[in-house]
Amino acid sequence: MTAPPAGRGDAGGLGAASGRTDRMPASRRVLGRLRETMARGPASLAVLVGLVATEMVAEVCSIYAMRPGDLLELAATHGLRPEAVGRTRLRVGEGIVGLVAATGEVMNLPDAQNHPAFAYRPETGEEPYASLLGVPVRRAGRTLGVLAVQNRMPRLYEDDEVEIVETVAMLLAEALAAGGAHDGAEEGLGASMTRQFEAAVLSPGVVLGPVIVLGGAAAPRRLLAEEPEAELRRLNEAAEAMRHDLDALIAAGLPEGGPARGRAEMREVLNATRLLAADSGWLRRVADAVRGGLTAEAAVHRVSGELQNRIRRLSDPTLRERLADFEDLAGRLLAALDGAEEEAQEVPPGAVLVARRLGPAQLLAWHARGISGLLIEEGSPAGHAAILARTLSLPALGDVRGVIAMVQEGDEAVLDADEGRLVLRPEADIRLTYERALQARNAREAGWTALRERPSCTADGVPFRLMLNIGLPLELDALTATGAEGIGLFRTEIAMLARGGVADIPEQVAIYARVLDAAAGRPVVFRTLDLGGDKLLPGASTADEENPAMGWRSLRIALDRPAVLRRQARALLLAAAGRPLTIMFPMVATVAEFRQARALVLSEAERIDRPPARLELGTMLEVPSLLWQMPALLAEVDFVSIGSNDLLQFLFAADRGTRGIADRYDLLSAPVLDMLEAVSRAAGTAGVPLSLCGAAASRPLEALTLAALGITTLSMPATSLLPVKALLTAADLGAFRTLLAVLRRTGAAEASLRETLLAWAQEHALPL
C-alpha cells in the first residue's frame, strides 16, 4: 500500500500560496532542525535518524544502506536494538525494506508484520511495532538505501509525514554516499569484461567508438532554503529562462553544426516538449516544495524524481516515452537555476552516447556536438528521440536494460544497429572484424553517390522503381540526396505523433502541400492516419486489448470515427490544389471497408473548388483476408502496396514486437514467395500497379527476390535506397529468376531459402 505523496496538488500559481499552509509548519520545523544540525558540521547517520524520530514522534527511525551484492545493511537506528546495526541484512526484494529498494516506491503500511513480504529479523527487536513507512533513498537515479519509520500503533502515516520522510531521504542521500553506500555499479573484473546486449533497432547503422555516459543531474549543493521567498523568485526567473531558451532552440530548428535540413519543420518534433514546458502544474509542485523549506534546486530534484517514478510505472509505452521529455525539461530548469554557461563536453570521434532516457532537445544538442551513435536504455521505436535519430540518420538502439549499470565513461563499444546488438569492451578479433566491415561499407557508400543519376534497371535491362518511406517534412531533402523516383509511403501519423496530437485542417494542409512542393511532380503516396496498436497519441484513451496490433486501429478507427478521416481527406485535397493526389488506406481487411473509405474521400472531393488533376485511391495489402478477395479488390482500387511487416506477422501469427520470435519466420521462404508471386500475377493481369513498402524492400537480397517475382516498385527508408539500387543494377535478374524457380520447387519444405540465395549473390560478387 502506498500513500499519495503530500504537496503535489495543482492549486495556486507559481510563487503564490498553495492553500496548504496548515501542513507547512511541521515540514519547516523538521527541515529547520536539520539545517541547524548540519550547519554545525557533518552529522552522523545516528544523529540524523534520532532527530527525525523525535520531530515526527516516531518510536523507530532506521536507515538501511546498500552494500555490494545487492544487500541492504542496517546502518543506523533510533528505537531498534543498537547491536543490530551492521548485523541485520536484507537482500534487495526481501522484506518490506528490500521491496522498497527494489521498486523505488514508498510503502505506507498500518500493519507491516502481516504483509506478505515481511521478513522477520529477531536481532532487531521490532516485534512490538505495527505501522511502517519505508522511503527509498536515491541519488542520481540509483537507490542507495531505505529510510524507515515505525510505530507501535497500527496507523497509516499522513501525507505531510510521508512528505517529510521523503525530503529527509533526499537529504540523507549525500551522507549515505559519503558513508560508503554501494550504488549498484559493477566493480572489479566484471567492469573490464566483454558484454553483449540484444536491443531494438531505433535507427540503422554501425558505429565503433568510445562511450559517453549521460548521467542524471548532479545532486544540489544546497538543500535547505534560508529565505523561501527568495527561492521562489529564483524559480520563477529560471522557469521563464528555460521557456525562452527552448523557444529559441525550436525557432532555430537545429543547433549550430546540425545538418542544414528543414529547420522550421523541426518545430513539429519539439512541439510536445514546448507544450510540457508551458504546463505550470509540475512547476507549482516545485514551488510547494520550496515553501516547505527546500532550495529551488532541491525542490526540482524532489518533484522531478516523484513524477519520473510515476511515469515509469505506467504500462502504456507511449506515455512512458514522455518521461524523457520531462527529464530534459527538469535538466534545463536546473541549468537555468545554476546560471552558469554549460561547458560543452568534448566528443571524441565515433563517440556513442549512452543514456537511460533522452529528450528531443537533448538529442539535437548532442548531435550538434558530433556523436556518431546512440543507445537509449528505455527508448522505443515510437519515441521522439527515435524519430529524430532516424531523421538525422544517426545509428541508434533502444529497449535494452542494464547497460547504464555496466558501462564506464570511455569504454569502447560496437553499436550494431543493423543487427540490434551492442558489444561493450569488444575483444580484439571482434573489434578488427567490425573495423574491416566499416572500411568496406565506407568504400561502398562512396561509390553509391554516383548511382543517383544512373538509370534504374538491372544488368539485363529490367527496369525498376525505388521510392522513399518518410514521415516528416524535414526528411524531404532525401529525395535529392538519393535520387528517389518519388515517395512511395508518406506516413501522415508521424508528424501527429511528434506534435502530440492530430493537427487541424490548416496545419495539415501546410504539411501536405510542403511535401508535394518538394516532390516537384514526382509521385507521392499519402497513407491515411495509421494510429492505434503501438502508435498512440499522448493522452489517447485505449481499450483493454490483448492483441492491439489486431485490434481497433488504423482504418477501423477512421471508419468508426469518420470525422477524422474526413478532415484529413479535405486537407489532402486542399493541399493538392489541382495537382495529382494519391491516397492509400491502411489495415484494410475487406473490400467493403475500402469502399466505405473511398466514399468518404470522394464525398469530400465534391466539395473542393479546385479538385486534384487526378485522384488515385488504393490500399495497403497487410491483412491476409484480402488474399482471398483479390479479384473483387483489384476491380475497385487504383493501386495496391504490400505492407510486408504486418502481412508477415499476421500470416505466421508471430508478433513482430516480440523479440524472441520476430525473426523466426522468413520472407525468403517458399510459402511467402508463392503468395507474393500470386499477388504480383493477379495485379499484372488486372493492370493494377503493385508496390511493396515494408521492411523487406530495404534489404538488398529481399529486394532482388521481390524484383524476380515481378514486384519492381519498392519503397524504403532513405538510408537503404542506394544500397538496394547498387545490388539491383549489378544483378542479372533473369539468371536469378531461374535459380529462384528451381529452389522453390526443390526447397518447398525448407524454413528459408536465404542461405542458398545469399551464396549465389556472393558467388556473383553482388554488393550485399
Give a yes or no: residue 703 inside a domain: yes
- Residue 462 CA to its chain's centroid (Å): 41
Residues 163, 213: one domain?
A: no
* 188 contacts 263 by C-beta, under 8 angstroms: no
Residue 155 phi, psi dihedral angles, 5° rounding: -160, 155
* 576 contacts 516 by C-beta, under 8 angstroms: yes
Q: How far apart are CA 582 and CA 131, in angstroms?
A: 67
Give a yes or no: residue 42 inside a domain: yes
Of 113-117, 162-166, 470-474, 582-586, highest mean pLDDT: 582-586
pLDDT at 78: 93
Residues 399, 501: one domain?
A: no
pLDDT at 706: 97
Q: Which of 129, 150, 178 is the last residue of a domain?
A: 178
pLDDT at 546: 59
Residue 475, pLDDT > 80, answer no
Q: Which residues contact 537 (CB under 8 A, 6 or more apart)?
A: 318, 496, 497, 500, 501, 502, 531
Give a yes or no: residue 734 inside a domain: yes
Question: For 142-158, how does the pLDDT look when each residue is reduced to its tens digit (9 = 90+)?
Answer: 788 899 999 999 999 88
pLDDT at 740: 93
Residues 214, 92: one domain?
A: no
Give a yes or no: residue 258 inside a domain: yes
Residue 164, pLDDT > 90, answer no
Q: Which residues contact 227 (CB under 8 A, 6 or more apart)?
A: none
Residues 319, 249: one domain?
A: yes
Lowest model confidence (mean pLDDT) among 220-224, 311-315, 451-455: 311-315
Residue 462, pLDDT > 70, answer yes
pLDDT at 537: 42
Q: How confident is the model at residue 725 (pLDDT cuts 50, 70, 90)?
A: very high
Q: How confident is the model at residue 236 (pLDDT cuts 50, 70, 90)?
A: confident
Buried b (16+ CB within 10 A) or exposed e, 104-137: bbbbbbbebbebebeeebeebbbeebbbbbbbbb
Residue with cell 489495415: 587
Residue 597, pLDDT > 90, answer yes
Give me the DSSP letters along 351-384: -EEEES---HHHHHHHHHHT--EEEETT--TTSH
Q: What's the mean pLDDT in 215-222?
A: 60
Residues 417, 520: one domain?
A: no
| Closest to 696 in 3D by CA, of 760, 635, 646, 645 | 645
Count Cβ atoms within 10 A of the Cβ of residue 465 and give its class: 0-12 exposed, 13-18 middle, 19 or more buried. middle
Residues 396, 536: one domain?
A: no
Give a yes or no: residue 247 inside a domain: yes
% of residues, the chain, pLDDT over 70: 76
Q: Which residues contact 594 (CB under 8 A, 6 or more apart)?
A: 585, 588, 619, 633, 636, 637
Lowest model confidence (mean pLDDT) among 312-321, 425-434, 555-564: 312-321
Count Cβ atoms within 10 A of the Cβ of residue 663 and give its class: 0-12 exposed, 13-18 middle, 19 or more buried. exposed
State the cell numbers at 411: 569504454
Residue 189, pLDDT > 60, answer no
Q: What's the mean pLDDT in 412-432?
A: 86
State the cell numbers at 560: 468508426
Q: What's the mean pLDDT in 128-135?
A: 93
Q: What's the mean pLDDT in 679-705?
A: 94
Residue 204, pLDDT > 80, answer yes
| Closest to 52 in 3D by CA, of 142, 157, 192, 124 | 157
pLDDT at 672: 92
Residue 491 phi, psi dihedral angles, 5° rounding: -80, 95
- Beta pairing partners, 64: 74, 146
pLDDT at 28: 66
Q: How confident is the model at residue 756 (pLDDT cuts 50, 70, 90)?
A: very high
Q: How confident is the model at residue 41 (pLDDT cuts 50, 70, 90)?
A: low
Give a yes or no: residue 190 inside a domain: no
Give a yes or no: residue 449 inside a domain: no
Q: What's the mean pLDDT in 65-73?
A: 83
Domain of residue 112 covers 24-178
* 378 contacts 317 by C-beta, under 8 angstroms: no
Q: How confident is the model at residue 285 (pLDDT cuts 50, 70, 90)?
A: confident
Q: Which residue has the higher pLDDT, 288 or 635?
A: 635
Q: Which residue has the higher pLDDT, 191 or 119?
A: 119
Residues 126, 221: one domain?
A: no
Q: How confident is the model at residue 668 (pLDDT cuts 50, 70, 90)?
A: very high
Residues 400, 490: one domain?
A: no
Q: How confident is the model at residue 253 (pLDDT cuts 50, 70, 90)?
A: very low
* 695 contacts 728 by C-beta, under 8 angstroms: no
Residue 604, pLDDT > 80, answer yes
% of residues, the chain, pLDDT over 90: 34
Residues 395, 522: one domain?
A: no
Q: How confident is the model at residue 450 (pLDDT cuts 50, 70, 90)?
A: confident
Residue 174, pLDDT > 70, answer no
Residue 417, pLDDT > 60, answer yes
Q: How confident is the model at residue 542 (pLDDT cuts 50, 70, 90)?
A: very low
The DSSP H or E segment spanning 137 is strand 131-139
pLDDT at 295: 81
Residues 612, 752: one domain?
A: yes
CA angle 722–726–728, rounded 5-degree value: 115
Residue 380, pLDDT > 80, answer no
Count Cβ atoms within 10 A of the Cβ of residue 447 and give its class: 0-12 exposed, 13-18 middle, 19 or more buried. exposed
| Closest to 79 in 3D by CA, of 99, 57, 98 | 57
* Residue 377 belongs to domain with CATH number: 1.10.274.10
Handedness of CA 68, 72, 78, 79 (dihedral sign): negative
Give a yes or no: residue 446 inside a domain: no
* Residue 619 belongs to domain with CATH number: 3.20.20.60
Q: How confident is the model at residue 1 (pLDDT cuts 50, 70, 90)?
A: very low
pLDDT at 727: 94
State the cell numbers at 316: 502504456
Question: For 70-126, how does the pLDDT look when each residue is reduced to its tens digit (9 = 90+)?
Answer: 788 998 899 999 999 888 999 888 999 999 888 888 899 999 988 888 888 889 999
* Number of domains observed in the structure of the chain: 3
pLDDT at 27: 60
Q: What's the mean pLDDT in 729-736?
A: 95
pLDDT at 2: 38
Residues recognised as catalytic: 384, 693
Handedness of CA 83, 85, 89, 94 (dihedral sign): positive
Q: How far apart are CA 290 and CA 172, in angstroms?
A: 18
pLDDT at 8: 35
- Residue 191 CA to its chain's centroid (Å): 27
Question: For 10-22, how does the pLDDT look when each residue is reduced to its tens digit (9 = 90+)?
Answer: 333 333 333 333 4
pLDDT at 248: 64
Rounded to the nearest integer, the mean pLDDT of the chain is 79
Q: How far apart are CA 701 and CA 667, in angstroms?
A: 11
pLDDT at 43: 66
Residues 217, 302: one domain?
A: yes
Residues 237, 158: one domain?
A: no
Lowest model confidence (mean pLDDT) among 165-169, 264-268, 422-426, 458-462: 264-268
Q: Which of 378, 411, 426 is the last residue of a domain?
A: 426
Q: How far apart are CA 206 and CA 222, in angstroms?
A: 43
pLDDT at 9: 35
Residue 760, pLDDT > 90, answer yes
